[in-house]
Each structure stands twice: as structure tokens, then as C-alpha cells.
């Protein structure tokens, strides 16, 4: 029997699976926001023996050169949904995998490495899921010659994805990188929910 929490996991994964674009935001505020796509493409069940995703973030004008790629494993912890994050060891080999299944199929668990302390934790809040980096400020990223910790805040509905990533100096806690104009606001252009291996969980 499917638990209530398991139902939330299925719903979150269905909402996450897609191509999201901030076209409207970038067209109305071009000085503050570039036109970006976020892709979350489901992985085969056997990759993690569960639900996983490959993700890309790309500028609309250069879809074959993602500036961020990742692998994500979804775990139901009962009180929340925990999404482990992994980096690709040779990411350029898999550029475009969010749109080309033939490339996606070449990724294996030998090609990834866990990003320690960088998992996301999601909870259902009515008609949305709200998520953030796991507590502790230990998801470390070196950028602009400075060691920073990541603060990532995400809100997901059936048709939208709102996110705000910021890098904070580990010593001064001042913002070093990330948006200073507020959340990126994405709308779902295409759903990949039919590719989720829901019959096997």
C-alpha cells in the first residue's frame, strides 16, 4: 500500500520532471535575468534502484553548453523528501543528455561523485513543495577566489519552479555570488513525468 509520504514523493518527482524556462521573466527584466532552461530528466530505475534525475541548466541561446549539470537520487525519509546530489566526473561528455536520450543512457554510477553536505530537503506545503540545502552550511563551493557555502531555496508546483541560489563567504557570511534581484521564476514547457519508473517503486 502506498503511504501518504510516498504519494508526496511521486507527486514531487512528477512535478520536477520537465523542461522549465524563465522566458517571461527574462523578457520583462532582461537586465536582471538571462533566458535560462532547467531540465530534470528521469534516469532509468536501475541507475539507483529507485528514482533519479539528470539535470542541466543552460542559456537558451547555447543549449549544448550547460553551465551546471548534476545527478540526483530521490529518497523518502518519512517526514521529508531527501534529494542527494552528485557531480559528473567528466561533465562535458554528457552535455545535451537532458534532450538526447542516447547520451543520457551513457551515464553510469562510475561517472559520478557524491557532493557531500549538498543534498536538498523538501517538504509538502499545500499545493507546493519547498526545499533547501541540508542544514549546517557545509555545502562548500570555491568561487571568485573565495570559499563559500551554498544557500539554495526552491519552490515547486505542478507548473512552476522558483529558485534562489546564493554563495556566502564562510567567514563573513556576506553574499559573494548568486542573484541579487530575487528568485528565478521558471514555467514548465514540457513534462517528462511519463518517463518516471513509478511502477517499480
User: Average model confidence (pLDDT) for the chain?
Assistant: 95
Q: What is the pLDDT of residue 154?
A: 98
| Beta strands per DSSP E along 18-107 | 18-21, 36-42, 52-59, 68-76, 81-88
CATH topology of domain 4-200: Lipocalin (2.40.128)
pTM of the predicted protein model: 0.93
- Are 195 and 18 in contact by the 8 Å Cβ rule? The answer is no
Taking residues 162-188, report their average pLDDT: 95
pLDDT digits (tens, 9 = 90+) for 53-97: 999 999 999 999 999 999 999 999 988 999 999 999 999 999 999
Rounded-to-integer distance, Cα 117 and Cα 115, Å: 7
Amino acid at each position: 500500500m502506498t503511504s501518504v509520504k510516498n504519494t508526496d514523493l511521486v507527486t514531487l518527482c512528477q512535478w520536477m520532471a520537465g523542461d522549465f524556462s524563465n522566458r517571461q521573466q527574462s523578457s520583462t527584466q532582461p537586465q536582471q535575468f538571462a533566458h535560462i532552461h532547467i531540465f530534470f530528466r528521469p534516469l532509468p530505475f536501475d541507475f539507483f534502484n529507485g528514482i533519479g534525475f539528470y539535470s542541466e541548466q543552460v542559456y537558451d541561446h547555447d543549449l549544448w553548453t550547460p553551465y551546471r549539470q548534476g545527478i540526483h537520487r530521490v529518497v523518502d525519509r518519512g517526514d521529508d523528501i531527501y534529494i542527494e546530489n552528485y557531480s559528473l566526473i567528466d561533465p562535458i561528455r554528457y552535455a545535451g543528455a537532458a534532450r538526447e536520450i542516447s547520451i543520457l543512457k551513457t551515464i553510469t554510477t562510475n561517472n559520478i561523485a557524491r557532493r557531500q553536505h549538498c543534498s536538498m530537503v523538501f517538504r509538502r506545503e499545500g499545493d507546493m513543495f519547498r526545499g533547501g540545502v541540508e542544514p549546517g552550511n557545509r555545502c562548500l563551493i570555491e568561487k571568485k577566489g573565495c570559499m563559500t557555502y551554498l544557500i539554495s531555496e526552491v519552490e515547486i508546483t505542478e507548473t512552476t519552479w522558483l529558485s534562489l541560489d546564493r554563495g556566502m563567504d564562510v567567514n563573513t557570511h556576506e553574499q559573494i555570488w548568486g542573484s541579487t534581484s530575487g528568485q528565478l521564476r521558471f514555467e514548465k514547457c514540457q513534462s517528462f513525468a511519463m518517463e518516471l519508473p513509478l511502477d517499480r517503486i
